[in-house]
């Protein structure tokens, strides 16, 4: 039974950029994009695309990807298409910038209402920039559909989805009625690579671009203007202390020295 | 509409008893309540709550509210959100706190959006601004590379709190508090999920969250076999073995061993990081360890910025000698 699926994907600064390259501009409370490191699709969102693709592989269906932001790089936001998703819709406008979980979830949910038909919505469990972990659940609440969070496996049959949900010491198997929203975690497994065929197909596709007015929202309801949380300060905690490196002629001797040092320091 | 007053803590229960995170929230909540000169409320949701209300009072609650019903036996989003929504609307708290747990991560956002209010997840610090009386919420962002402080002007102000970030009060059995049942009217037809099965991973020995010594392996371990050496060392130290994300994603070790921002948060006395680079997302899980020791062949690895002691080199050549010497020193 083919399913209509929507996946929300966010363009973020690459979380794999070396920690040393991470810098904040204190005057704007914003992260300075590290030079030479292009943005990426937030990793948990890629896994959300993978979850949808696995269902499409099994039973067919259509995957629409939805991305919100401003100055979105086509190379980045088209990646889900290269992986095998069918359509891309961008909520792209300056007004969408600087949102919190509230204004972002609201804009995405409003766009999804405009898209209309869906059986399953997938989101990453949290975005690699703000790590807030709320937008997926928020979209579900605004749409009035059930949600299951932190999924590592999703199957769908007969108007229901069977979801393996990660818990602290194992997992639960949850059955949920469709339509539903599912947030996906890394335990799902690696997202597939884009294929050459996929990249070529993606390059021919033009994303649909919507501005706030296209989805019936005022600028005052989206982005920074629509926030309910106020960011007071963005900062890097100061790291004190230095690491004492133990050296010796051979690695084995260094290992022995380390043990002795720990004993001396009463760590063991 | 009633004015928002009081700090409400979601008292998560584990096996019918009040959980550690709930005691930590009550400790934190007590401090906030005292500063604001308002009450500390604790809400307990489940079936057959037993001693839990008394424990909540012992750990600092002034007023405990109980929602007991067979339909609440297991956590499910729809039923628990409905109960919390009623509690929030009837009791009008100023602040609601949850633990950053499997339940908290699911319940808190759904409730926040239900109530139309703002929420900060995985907070490490909470404070009251003396001027505005607003809750300031500090949390880890950008994969642990930075911290952000938020507030909001919508009520109730909501936050989930990282485990072990706050301290519980010493339980005082002589404390007095009110226990009031909340009337629960649940419609089973409105609960849109069903828990078919719960599969728990068998933990042999010490649990990671409780271990005082942890030996953690990263991508540098290279495969499942290397972890056997880490197990040996952990046994000598009477501790547990953990991992960063790559060994879990590669299926060298079970997912339940993952330590980090989206894995377990640990606070041992000793954390030995072997073949582990120390990416910020991982450090978010272990940076509260008292002593971090690093063994990595890359002298530039980020882990050395957090570690107190380290050796640079191939762990396969360093670890056996290290383990032998530790055995000898602990025996003597």
Residue B287 lies in a domain: yes
B102:A251 CB<8 A: no
Mean pLDDT of B121-135: 96
Domain that holds residue B264: 213-331
B194:A126 CB<8 A: no
Which pLDDT band holds residue B156 (cuts at 50, 70, 90)? very high
123-182 in chain A: CB under 8 A from chain B: 125-126, 128-134, 137-138, 140-142, 146-150, 152, 162, 165-177, 180
ipTM: 0.95
Closest CA–CA distance from residue A98 to any residue of chain B (Å): 14
A222 and A244 inside one domain:
no
Q: Is A106 on the interface with B (CB under 8 A)?
A: no
- Interface size A-B, in CB pairs within 8 Å, comes to 260
A243:B305 CB<8 A: yes
A141 and A61 inside one domain:
yes
Which residues neighbour B297 within 8 Å (Cβ) at sequence distance 6 or greater?
A: B220, B275, B312, B313, B314, B315
A128 and A254 inside one domain:
no
Q: Which of B175, B190, B205 lies at the terminal end of a domain, its last residue? A: B190
Question: For position B270, which CATH number holds?
Answer: 3.40.50.1220
Find tokens 């002298």 and name the residue. B299
Which pLDDT band holds residue B139 (cuts at 50, 70, 90)? very high
Select from B78, B131, B145 the residue whose CB has the most chain A CBs within 10 Å, as the one to mutate to test that interface.
Answer: B145
Residue A231 lies in a domain: no
Residue B201 lies in a domain: no
**Cβ-Cβ contacts under 8 Å, B318 against chain A:** 251-252, 254-255, 258
Determine the pLDDT at residue B205.
Answer: 84
Token readout for B302 is 């980020």
In chain B, the percentage of residues whose pLDDT exceeds 90 is 96
B186 and B219 inside one domain:
no
Phi, psi of A206 (to 5 degrees): -100, 130
Determine the pLDDT at residue B1.
Answer: 52
Which pLDDT band holds residue B230 (cuts at 50, 70, 90)? very high
Token readout for B29 is 């909540």
Residue B300 lies in a domain: yes
188-207 in chain A: CB under 8 A from chain B: 189-190
Q: CB count, 10 Å around CB of A156?
A: 22
Residue B24 pLDDT exceeds 90: yes
Residue B283 pLDDT exceeds 90: yes
Mean pLDDT of B104-118: 98
Residue B149 pLDDT exceeds 90: yes
Closest CA–CA distance from residue A178 to any residue of chain B (Å): 9
Select from B77, B220, B251, B305 the residue whose CB has the most chain A CBs within 10 Å, as the one to mutate to test that interface.
Answer: B77
Determine the pLDDT at residue A78.
Answer: 97
In chain B, the percentage of residues whose pLDDT exceeds 70 is 99
Residue A240 pLDDT exceeds 90: no
Cα distance between residue A125 and residue A132, in whole Å:
9
Question: For position B72, which CATH number holds?
Answer: 3.40.50.620
Determine the pLDDT at residue B2.
Answer: 67
Closest CA–CA distance from residue A206 to any residue of chain B (Å): 31
Mean pLDDT of B33-45: 98
59-98 in chain B: CB under 8 A from chain A: 77-78
A37 and A156 inside one domain:
yes
Mean pLDDT of A174-203: 96
Which pLDDT band holds residue B182 (cuts at 50, 70, 90)? very high
Determine the pLDDT at residue A210.
Answer: 98
Residue B2 lies in a domain: no
Residue A110 pLDDT exceeds 70: yes
Residue B104 pLDDT exceeds 70: yes
Mean pLDDT of B160-168: 95
Cα distance between residue A161 and residue A158, in whole Å:
8
Closest CA–CA distance from residue B152 to any residue of chain A (Å): 5
Of A19, A234, A259, the CB nearest to B322: A259
- pLDDT, tens digit (0-9, with 9 covering 90-100), for A22-31: 999 988 889 9
Which pLDDT band holds residue B202 (cuts at 50, 70, 90)? confident
Q: How many domains does chain B have?
A: 2
Token readout for B218 is 């990263």
Residue A232 lies in a domain: no
Residue B204 pLDDT exceeds 90: no
Of A105, A147, A232, the CB nearest to B151: A232
Residue B302 pLDDT exceeds 60: yes
- pLDDT, tens digit (0-9, with 9 covering 90-100), for A116-170: 999 999 999 999 999 999 999 999 999 999 999 999 999 998 899 999 999 988 9
- Of A179, A171, A10, A2, which Cα lies nearest the Cα of A101? A10
Domain that holds residue A250: 238-268
Assign 3-state DSSP to chain A and report helix, strand, coil percentages, each to 5. Answer: 35, 30, 35
Q: If you average pLDDT over every residue of chain B, what do you get? A: 95
Which pLDDT band holds residue A20 (cuts at 50, 70, 90)? confident
Write out the H or E segment, with its range, that includes residue B229. Answer: helix B226-236
A158 and A45 inside one domain:
yes
B26 and B83 inside one domain:
yes
């Amino acid at each position: 039974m083919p399913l209509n699926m929507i996946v929300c994907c966010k363009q973020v600064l690459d979380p794999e950029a070396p920690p040393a390259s991470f810098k904040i501009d204190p005057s704007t409370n914003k992260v300075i994009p590290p030079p030479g490191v292009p943005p990426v699709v937030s990793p948990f969102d890629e896994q959300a695309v993978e979850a949808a693709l696995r269902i499409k592989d099994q039973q067919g269906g259509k995957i629409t990807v939805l991305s919100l932001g401003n100055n979105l790089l086509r190379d980045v936001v088209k990646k889900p298409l290269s992986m095998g998703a069918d359509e891309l819709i961008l909520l792209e406008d300056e007004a969408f910038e600087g949102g919190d979980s509230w204004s972002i979830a609201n804009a995405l949910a409003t766009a999804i209402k405009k898209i209309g038909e869906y059986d399953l919505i997938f989101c990453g469990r949290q975005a690699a920039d703000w790590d807030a972990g709320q937008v997926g659940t928020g979209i579900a609440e605004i749409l009035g559909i059930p949600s299951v969070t932190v999924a590592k496996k999703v199957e769908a049959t007969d108007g229901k989805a069977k979801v393996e949900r990660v818990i602290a010491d194992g997992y639960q198997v949850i059955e949920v009625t469709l339509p539903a929203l599912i947030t996906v975690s890394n335990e799902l497994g690696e997202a597939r690579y884009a294929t050459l065929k996929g990249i070529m197909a993606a390059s021919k596709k033009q994303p649909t671009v919507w501005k706030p007015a296209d989805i019936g929202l005022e600028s005052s309801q989206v982005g920074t203007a629509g926030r309910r949380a106020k960011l007071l300060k963005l900062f890097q905690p100061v790291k004190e202390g230095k690491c004492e490196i133990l050296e010796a002629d051979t690695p084995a001797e260094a290992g022995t020295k380390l043990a002795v040092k720990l004993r001396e320091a009463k760590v063991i | 509409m009633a004015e928002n007053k009081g700090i409400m803590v979601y008292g998560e229960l584990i096996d019918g008893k009040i959980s550690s995170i709930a005691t930590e929230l009550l400790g934190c909540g007590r401090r906030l309540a005292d500063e604001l000169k308002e009450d500390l409320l604790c809400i307990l949701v489940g079936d057959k709550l037993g001693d839990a209300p008394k424990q909540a009072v012992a750990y600092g609650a002034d007023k405990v509210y109980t929602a007991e019903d067979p339909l609440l036996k297991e956590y499910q989003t729809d039923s628990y959100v409905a109960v919390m929504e009623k509690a929030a609307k009837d009791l009008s708290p100023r602040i609601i706190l949850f633990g950053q747990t499997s339940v908290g991560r699911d319940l808190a956002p759904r409730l926040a959006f239900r109530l139309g209010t703002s929420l900060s997840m995985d907070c490490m610090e909470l404070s009251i601004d003396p001027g505005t009386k607003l809750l300031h919420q500090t949390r880890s962002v950008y994969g642990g590379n930075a911290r952000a402080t938020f507030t909001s002007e919508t009520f109730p102000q909501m936050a989930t709190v990282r485990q072990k970030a706050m301290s519980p009060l010493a339980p005082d059995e002589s404390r007095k508090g009110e226990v009031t049942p909340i009337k629960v009217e649940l419609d089973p037809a409105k609960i849109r999920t069903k828990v078919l099965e719960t599969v728990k991973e068998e933990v042999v020995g010490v649990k990671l969250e409780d271990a005082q010594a942890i030996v953690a392996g990263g991508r540098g371990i290279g495969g499942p076999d290397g972890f056997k050496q880490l197990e040996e060392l952990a046994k000598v130290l009477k501790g547990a073995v953990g991992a960063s994300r790559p060994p879990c994603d590669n299926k060298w070790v079970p997912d339940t061993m993952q330590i980090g921002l989206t894995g377990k948060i640990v606070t041992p006395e000793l954390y030995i990081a072997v073949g582990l680079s120390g990416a910020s997302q991982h450090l978010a899980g272990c940076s509260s360890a008292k002593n971090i020791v690093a063994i990595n062949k890359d002298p530039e690895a980020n882990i050395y910025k957090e570690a107190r002691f380290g050796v640079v080199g191939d762990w396969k050549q360093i670890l056996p000698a290290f383990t032998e010497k530790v055995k000898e020193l602990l025996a003597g």
